[in-house]
Amino acid sequence: MDRQTALDAATASFDSGAFLEPLARRVAFPTESADPAREPVLREYLTAEMIPLVERLGFTARVVENPVSPRHPFLVARRVEDPDLPTVLTYGHGDVQPAHPEQWRAGLDPWRLVVEGDRWYGRGVADNKGQHSVNLVALEQVLAVRGGRLGYNVALLLDMGEEFGSPGLDEVCDQLREELAADLLIGSDGPRIAADRPTVFLGTRGAVNLTLSVRARAAAHHSGNWGGALSNPATVLANALASLVDGRGRLLVEALRPDGVPEPVRRALADVPVDQGPDAPALDPEWGEPGLTPSERLFGWNTLEVLAMTAGDPDAPVGAIPPSARAHCQLRFVVGTDGGSVADEVRTHLAEHGFGSVEVEQDLAMAATRLDPEDPWVTWTLASLRRTTGVEPALLPNLGGSLPNGAFADVLGLPTLWVPHSYPGCAQHAPDEHLPIGLVRESLQVMAGLWWDLAELAPDWPPSHP
């Protein structure tokens, strides 16, 4: 019974095809959480697919109803060897983005796992069915090698509404504090920084969606008869946006700018390039906050993006001053920014710059979180990945995107470690979603090593600094 035996067992589960068959079955569930008609499928994924799996691993599992969004249930499961032992909580989500099958290229079907060359295609293979399948299969192999005993407890939370914003997740974590009590979260979602480099991230940037609108009057009016005498909402809105972010992408709202990039974050990001793989867009070197590296702009700073805007009918313009204009924006923000006050700060800024007529509505999607990069759990996890792969893993203080990590970091108060099993070019949320086969194989080894190393460390959690 040793660590290498567990890694070999995880690898064998991949090489034999034993991993592929159940993943293909899971991909076949059309678990689109944005579609109300899919509610029965979301539940079936839990009851028919996931509960039998985790019960086979010794978990006690149940479906928990969502107190906020009833059509997005949760799976809560616990595997308790001894209540006095430490516990790790793991998280994943079984729902997926809308598939849009007509947009997938010939030969591909979002609800059928297709093996083509060195890639697996299908909706959810990367986000997130493949990732939580990796974690559970690796755990199964470690349990088998260790004779069914880990020396610690495992809790599992599976979310069926993550792609819909994880409604109810904070509330469930608050209501089930005792059932979800743990010493550590290890989750898997999002991408590595590159397909060939194992990655750990410690939290995520937050996200606030803002709608800015100007409504001057009830109807459009002839631009020749009224131009110069009537305000143009599109012009007002364009200038209001220009007061928020300049023509090079620099955030101009002083209250929404971070105080700086903390030194531990800066040190970690010095070793993290922004993905420049073959499927990645070319970077714009002059875009964003001056004086920062591309990695610091992406992972260590706040950015305001205009996602969509409209006035009149862009597809059939007429010679008239539009009555209204609207823009949808998004602020991605790091720890230290109060996500709940963004709309108030924008309103104040706009009023001070003469744009008091612009209405601002806010939807807080995700909170910003970040475990201290110098936390001993971070050093320990990086060492585990290095021991398994022989590669120096990347450390991201936080993901550039957003995940519902606030439920674990803020509501449950856990140190949070995310070990992703995807890569930036996987086309998650898009047609032709896929994963490289070699990445999946290595991810099984990585997780088997982590589960094993937690057992070697138990019950002395957390680790101490070396």
Residues 107-140 have pLDDT tens digits of 999 999 999 999 999 999 999 999 999 999 999 9
Please give the torsion angle defined by the CA atoms of residues 460, 150, 147 and 380, in that order, rounded to the nearest 10 degrees.
-70
Q: What pLDDT does 281 receive?
A: 84
Question: H-type helices in 163-215, by residue range?
Answer: 169-175
Q: What is the DSSP letter of 247?
A: T
- Contact between 233 and 324 under an 8 Å Cβ cutoff? The reply is yes
Cα gap 173→330, rounded to integer Å = 26
| pLDDT mean over 375-391 | 97
pLDDT tens for each residue of 214-264: 999 999 999 999 999 999 999 999 999 999 999 999 999 999 999 999 999
Could you list the beta-strand ranges (E) of 177-321: 184-187, 199-201, 203-204, 206-215, 221-222, 303-311, 320-321
Closest to 295 (Cα-Cα) out of 378, 397, 387: 397
Spatial distance between the Cα atoms of 454 and 312, rounded to a whole number of angstroms: 59
Rg (CA), the chain: 24
Question: How far apart are the C-alpha atoms of 345 and 339, rounded to whole Å?
Answer: 10
Whole-prediction pTM value?
A: 0.91
- For 26, other C-beta atoms within 10 Å of its C-beta total 21
Query: Concatenated DSSP letters for 138-169?
Result: HHHHHHHHTTT--SSEEEEEEES-GGGT-TTH
Distance from C-alpha of 327 to C-alpha of 237, rounded to nearest angstrom: 8
Residue 87 structure tokens: 């516990």
CA torsion sign for 17, 21, 26, 27 is: positive
DSSP code for 189: -
Bridge pairing between strands 320-321 and 203-204: unpaired
Q: Are 147 and 65 in contact (CB under 8 A)?
A: no
Answer for the pair 459, 22: CB distance below 8 angstroms, yes or no.
no
Contact, 339 vs 206, CB < 8 A?
yes
Q: CB of 194 within 8 A of CB of 275?
A: yes
| Residue 353 near residue 256, CB atoms below 8 Å | no
- pLDDT at res. 280: 75
What is the percent of the chain with per-residue pLDDT over 90, rounded to a whole number? 94
440: which residues sit within 8 A by CB, 6+ positions away?
14, 19, 120, 130, 134, 421
Nearest-angstrom CA–CA distance, 196 and 449: 17
Q: What is the pLDDT of residue 333?
A: 96
Task: Output the pLDDT for position 276.
Answer: 67
Does the pLDDT value for residue 26 go beyond 70? yes
> Where does 268-358 show beta strands of DSSP type E?
303-311, 320-321, 324-333
Whose tokens are 């143009």? That residue is 232
pLDDT digits 0-9 by tens, 30-47 = 999 999 999 999 999 999
In this structure, the number of other CB atoms found within 10 A of the CB of residue 109 comes to: 15
- Cα distance between residue 49 and residue 94, in whole Å: 10
Q: Note the pLDDT of residue 415.
A: 98
Closest CA to 209 of 342, 336, 302: 342
Residue 364 has pLDDT above 90, yes or no: no
Predicted confidence (pLDDT) per residue in 141-164, tens digit? 999 999 999 999 999 999 999 999
Return the SS3 of 361. strand
Task: Work out the mean pLDDT of the chain and round it to a whole number.
Answer: 96
Letter string b/e over residues 79-108, b meaning 16 or more CB atoms within 10 A of that residue's CB = bebeeeebbbbbbbbbbbbebeeeebeeeb
* Separation of alpha carbons 133 and 41, rounded Å: 18
CB 78 within 8 A of CB 59: yes
Residue with tokens 């790091």: 334
Q: Which DSSP letter does residue 97 get? A: -
CATH fold label, 3-204+368-457: Aminopeptidase (3.40.630)
**pLDDT value of position 28:** 98
Tokens in use for 382? 């990086």
Omega before 459 within 30 of 0, i.e. cis:
yes
Domain 206-266+286-366 classification at class level: alpha beta
Domain boundaries, the chain: 3-204+368-457, 206-266+286-366
Bridge-partner residues for 296, per DSSP?
none
> β-strands 114-116, 119-121: how paired?
antiparallel
Q: In 219-286, at which residue ranges do the beta strands (DSSP E only) sit?
A: 221-222
User: Which one, of 8, 423, 434, 390, lies nearest residue 196 by Cα?
Assistant: 423
State pLDDT tens for residues 50-86.
Answer: 999 999 999 999 999 999 999 999 999 999 999 999 9
